[in-house]
Structure 1
Amino acid sequence: LRQRLAVASAAAAVATAGWLYLRHEKERERRQRHARQLRALALSQGDFELRDTAGNPRRKADFLGTWVLLYFGFTHCPDVCPEQLEKLSRALELLERDAALPPLQPLFVTVDPERDDAAALARYLRDFHPRLLGLTGSPERVREAAAAFRVYVSAGPRDADGDYVVDHSVVTFLLDPDGFFRDCYNRSSTAEEVARSVRRHMENYEPLLP
């Protein structure tokens, strides 16, 4: 009887181990499938080769491991960009009240590199959240960055003084620590709505890359 019990116990242990292994493999396959689905999204492939206001080269890979809020705009924007950056700053302040939340890096990418050099960006961003990082670059690099995130950009006609307005998509992108697109917020989104959405994504986040 004891021998039968021992054999039965051993068989049960083997079966349990096998079941746990299969469950682990299924979970691993699910995560890999999810990662492939995210990679298939065009926005997840978005990248940039720009420079920050200190002249340091910056790519999306530099921010892996950190949540990112990314907005495209320009310093001569009369109303929309200041409005969006104020909203972004307010959302960041709301999130910073919870010290348990992971780091979040806000980025402002210019769509007007002709006028928005590093010095101009630095001056402009002083009026907003202190951690807001400005990025600029050559016209070609800026166009590539906007195209990578499907951001529409079109410079309008110049007036007698050579001034002009740049028409562009008004959207803020949320990227997770793996560099994948998670959500976006348009002009109608409030700071409170953005903060709630970002918090929800952070709380439900599962790393997808090793």
Structure 2
Amino acid sequence: MSSPRIAVVRNEVESEYEYHCDALSENVPDAREIDFPVGERLDPGAVDGVVLTGSTAGVYERSDRPWIDDQRRLVEELVEREIPTLGVCFGHQVVNDALGGSVENVGTTARLVAAEFEDDPLFDGVSPVVPAVHGDAVTAVGDGMEVIASADYYPAFATRHRNAPLWTVQFHPEFTAGLRGRLEADFGWTDSDLRFEDANATRVFENFGSIVEDSTA
């Protein structure tokens, strides 16, 4: 059996921050990469699963960044076609925004966070210690979405669609200890009593890959 075809939709708009998209793609074997802000587009019928990456853009910048409206329409199509989809950070936000939710700037968080996970296959074996770097937050979830993880400062820390195979997480599963110095320099990463040694968030991508594979069986 061939591996499922998973596309990584890259959303970063600043070249100096593209390393987070690179790190994410490294966790999705044989991914097809689509650079959305520069005009590349995805044919949903040509893939088995989709991951929407983070971005330093905000979903409310639609008038300045027309590609955001294109991605909102893509989200609607992925839901309609029931193609397994995972939104990460900006991806979490654009999914909920596209489905009628709201996103607001709430100030920067850049640290390890203790999350409370619901029982969901996306979180199988995942430690509740996860890395978060964001300035925007989902303040109302989209239609059909339900909360599957929360944090002490963020009620809608991860969401899932009630009917379609669609998951979103505010945290960055791709961030590991090896990127800590870069995150400190770029986003003011702060340390706490939580440790990267206790985090294994990259397992989210393994779990999503299994979900996609099961959907093609």
TM-score (norm 1): 0.30
Compare the two structures and name the one with the higher strand fraction: 2
Higher RCO, 1 vs 2 (CA within 8 Å, ≥6 residues apart): 1
